[in-house]
Amino acid sequence: MQNLAISIVIPVHNEAHRLRETVLAVREAADVPYEIVVVDDGSTDGCTDFLGSEPSFFKNVRLFRSSTRLGVAEARNFGFRQSRGPAVMFMDGHCQPSDRFLSYLLRALQRLGRGLVVPQITAQGEPTSRGFGMTLSGPSLVPSWLPAQVEEPYFVPIGCGCCQMCFRAWFGQIGHYDRMRIYGIEDLELSLRSWLLGGPVQVVPQAVVAHHFRKRTTCQVTWSDMVYNSLRMAHLHFS
């Protein structure tokens, strides 16, 4: 793809209609050359079928299907290996970005260089619910959203994994997403690791992405998976 600037990697597992809505929303909001790499991680609901039935309409979307269940972190890593852009965005398959979100994030990343940039996150259907990065508090390491500070990009402890962008060289340098169990914590761990290796995390308030916060994940996560992932992050990064 000529002058490709950003590869958007979207791992999906039973996203139903929301994946198509996300792809269309990116198409409407994008203002720089991009490609979308969809990784179908064992979906059984046909959520990626539209890409095969309408190939000319989604010509800058490439679909890859995994023969085995990967989990979110490894599906993102798999998509990264198929991507071609100098900058890579990892995004959930249930997001609605606002106009020019890619150029806002890309400009901030170009100024930052090493590290991660993330947008302002709103809740779909509740536009007044807004998060500007996250922090970890207490021994349970439960993340909490941070309020707005200034209009220009600024540093935050953690960037939410529903939308994270970095240069592909930096992602390779810091070692990709940690191969945790099926779902959860991998985005928090990546933010910590980036900081520790000299790459700050920065929120870009002008870039806005609405995220569908589900009451229950489609990934069939058990409590032992979440405990394992939390303990793994704690063991890696905290005394």
CA separation, residue 144 to residues 61, 86, 125, 136, 199 (Å)? 33, 31, 20, 6, 21
Distances 180 to 72, 187, 216 between C-alpha atoms, Å: 9, 10, 19
Nearest to 209 by CA among 110, 89, 113: 89
Calculate the average pLDDT of the chain. 91
Q: Is the pLDDT of residue 219 over 60?
A: no
| 15 φ, ψ (degrees, to nearest 5) | -90, -5
pLDDT tens digits, residue range 13-49?
999 899 999 999 999 999 999 999 999 999 999 999 9
Query: Both tokens of residue 85?
Result: 């852009």
pTM: 0.92
The 10s digit of each residue's pLDDT in 73-130 is: 999 999 999 999 999 999 999 999 999 999 999 999 999 999 999 999 999 888 789 9
Closest CA to 115 of 189, 193, 184, 37: 193
